């Protein structure tokens, strides 16, 4: 930790944690952890208007304290300003800075057993099982661990590859005790965060599928860096929380490929992509399938020949869901207008012909095409760059993807296209089935047991059910059933499976 790489971000998170604690004491109100996390989220949303976040190394004290106090007072109306002035000279800020320096072992009055405080509201840590288990208390990463494993670079503390590090917590007697690992596979894949928003049965059915999304095909080992970021996960959580707030039922399911989960909204044709591998995380919590159409955010900001990909905030993900449901969504740049209101225009540099020069042209903010509809919501900004005139973030509904039947003309070209479509459908179905059954693992298990010289009747038959609760051992006379579920017996020698009268 002596290098202090990344220490500033943890200090800002510490200030946030202590300011919320101060607000609790000041108002005498209970601020549950969910509300505190929302305060922290609102800070990032406010700072994003300046092209920054709490984790941004460019963030100054004034911007931090302003966003923090504004977010607390928005969430807790009876709270007064926590800080007297929004500058480094503020007495409370200076006191917190001195406390933090003592905790991490720096400064004049450094603690002997130095450790890095970790806030339970820090998005990088808040959805991890060990941190969730300690509630609103701070967790700690010992300085010795940071020095030995991270070479003193705190900026790497949240990396998935260091999940084996142990976090500590202060007990009732003021002693440091072990709390648990910094990260598990469930944490890295997003399952820990999503678990509260799905049933036990759904969790058991999707758990391994989600974790397998981080498996390196070359080594067959889990690489936690292959999982999507916490920022993408926050979008998916925001959508699920919105569905719960609306009282809508949904089901969490496996999607097409390992690592992909989706939520299917009951009594509709809507599905939300919840998780993606890291290279495709921009689509997690940012894309809704609606009866064959796709609803997502898009931009008209060109990067080379392609349009820039936009990663929405959690609040914008909720707006996307509401828009897909047909609810009114206000524009962020012009709140008096609803997204989709016809009339407003913007200026873009456009060529009137292929060889003509770029010319400023007035273009409608909202328009409909043969298959696409685009609705402006705000100006698009590249962090650290001046805004480009006419660059917009847009809600987009496109009908290029179809879940309806495909039709082909009865011509030679049509038949070839149909054959290719069917061949691809069969191939992908086989691949998905092989992945879900873990065919390679089944073959490896068979070869291992054959190598041990076991007789065929002595082989242990693999459990094929995706729901562990359906896997029950057989007694010597057969299986007794306490419910109506039918399962596959996997005995060491042939036995019969029967149902009892109670079934």
Residue 80: pLDDT band by 50, 70, 90 thresholds? very high
Extract the tokens encoding 185. 């596979």
- pTM for this predicted structure: 0.65
Instruction: Give the CA distances from residue 342 to residues 338, 444, 448, in Å, rounded to whole numbers and listed in that order.
Output: 9, 61, 67
pLDDT of residue 33 exceeding 90, the answer is yes
Task: Kindly tell me the number of DSSP H helices and DSSP E strands found in the chain.
Answer: 13, 16
Q: How far apart are CA 322 and CA 338, in angstroms?
A: 13
pLDDT in tens, 140-197: 999 999 999 999 899 999 988 888 999 999 998 888 999 999 999 999 999 999 998 9
Q: Is 111 exposed, middle or buried (0-12, 13-18, 19+ CB in 10 A)?
A: middle
State the pLDDT at residue 204.
92
Q: What is the distance in angstroms between the CA of the first residue and the CA of the last residue of the chain? A: 62
Instruction: Report the sign of the C-alpha dihedral through residues 130, 11, 314, 258, in that order.
Output: negative
pLDDT in tens, 438-465: 778 788 887 887 787 776 666 676 665 4
**Left, alpha or beta for 384 (phi > 0: left; psi -120 to 50: alpha)?**
left
State the pLDDT at residue 345.
74
DSSP of 240-276:
HHHHHHHT--EEEEE-SSTT-EEEEETTSSEEEEEE-
User: Which among 255, 256, 216 is positioned nearest to 427, based on CA atoms?
Assistant: 256
Three state DSSP letters for 409-463? CCCHHHHHHHHHHHHHHHHHHHHHHHHHHCHHHHHHHHHHHHHCCCCHHHCCCCC
Q: How far apart are CA 56 and CA 73, in angstroms?
A: 23
Residue pair 35/79 in contact (Cβ under 8 Å)? The answer is: no
């Amino acid at each position: 930790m002596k290098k202090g790489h990344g220490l500033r971000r943890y200090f800002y998170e510490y200030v946030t944690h202590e300011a919320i604690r101060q607000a609790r004491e000041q108002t005498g109100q209970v601020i549950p952890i969910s509300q505190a996390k929302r305060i922290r989220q609102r800070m990032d949303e406010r700072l994003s208007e300046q092209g920054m976040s709490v984790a941004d190394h460019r963030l100054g004290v004034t911007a931090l304290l302003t966003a923090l106090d504004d977010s607390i007072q928005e969430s807790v109306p009876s709270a007064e300003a926590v800080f007297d002035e929004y500058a480094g000279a503020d007495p409370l800020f200076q006191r917190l800075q001195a406390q933090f320096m003592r905790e991490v072992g720096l400064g004049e009055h450094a603690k002997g057993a130095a450790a890095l405080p970790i806030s339970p509201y820090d998005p990088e840590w808040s959805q991890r099982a060990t941190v969730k288990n300690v509630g609103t208390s701070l967790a700690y990463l010992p300085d010795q661990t940071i020095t030995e494993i991270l070479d003193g670079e705190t900026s790497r503390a949240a990396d998935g590859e260091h999940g084996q590090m142990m976090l500590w917590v202060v007990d009732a007697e003021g002693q440091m005790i072990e709390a648990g690992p910094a990260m598990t596979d469930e944490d890295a894949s997003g399952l820990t965060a999503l678990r509260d928003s799905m049933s036990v049965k759904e969790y058991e059915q999707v758990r391994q599928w989600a974790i397998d999304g981080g498996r390196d095909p070359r080594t067959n080992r889990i690489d936690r860096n292959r999982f999507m970021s916490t920022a993408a996960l926050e979008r998916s959580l925001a959508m699920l929380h919105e569905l719960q707030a609306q009282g809508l039922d949904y089901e969490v399911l496996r999607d097409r490929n390992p690592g992909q989960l989706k939520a299917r909204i009951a009594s509709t044709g809507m599905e939300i992509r919840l998780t993606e591998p890291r290279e495709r995380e921009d689509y997690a919590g940012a894309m809704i399938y609606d009866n064959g159409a796709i609803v997502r955010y898009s931009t008209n900001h060109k990067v080379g020949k392609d349009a820039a990909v936009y990663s929405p905030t959690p609040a914008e993900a909720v707006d996307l869901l509401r828009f897909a449901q047909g609810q009114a969504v206000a524009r962020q740049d012009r709140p008096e207008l609803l997204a989709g209101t016809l009339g407003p225009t913007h200026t873009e540099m456009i060529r009137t012909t292929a060889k003509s020069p770029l010319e400023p042209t007035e273009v409608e903010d909202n328009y409909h095409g043969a298959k696409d509809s685009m609705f402006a919501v705000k100006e698009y900004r590249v962090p650290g760059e001046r805004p480009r005139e006419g660059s917009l973030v847009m809600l987009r509904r496109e009908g290029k993807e179809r879940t309806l039947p495909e039709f082909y003309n009865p011509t030679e070209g049509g038949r070839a296209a149909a054959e290719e479509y069917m061949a691809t459908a069969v191939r992908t179905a086989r691949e998905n089935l092989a992945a879900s059954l873990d065919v390679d693992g089944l073959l490896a298990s068979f070869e291992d047991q054959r190598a041990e010289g076991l007789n065929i009747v002595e082989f242990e038959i693999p459990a094929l059910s995706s729901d562990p609760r359906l896997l029950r051992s057989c007694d010597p006379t057969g299986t007794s059933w306490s419910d109506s579920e039918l399962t596959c017996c996997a005995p060491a020698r042939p036995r019969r499976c029967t149902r009892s009268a109670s079934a």
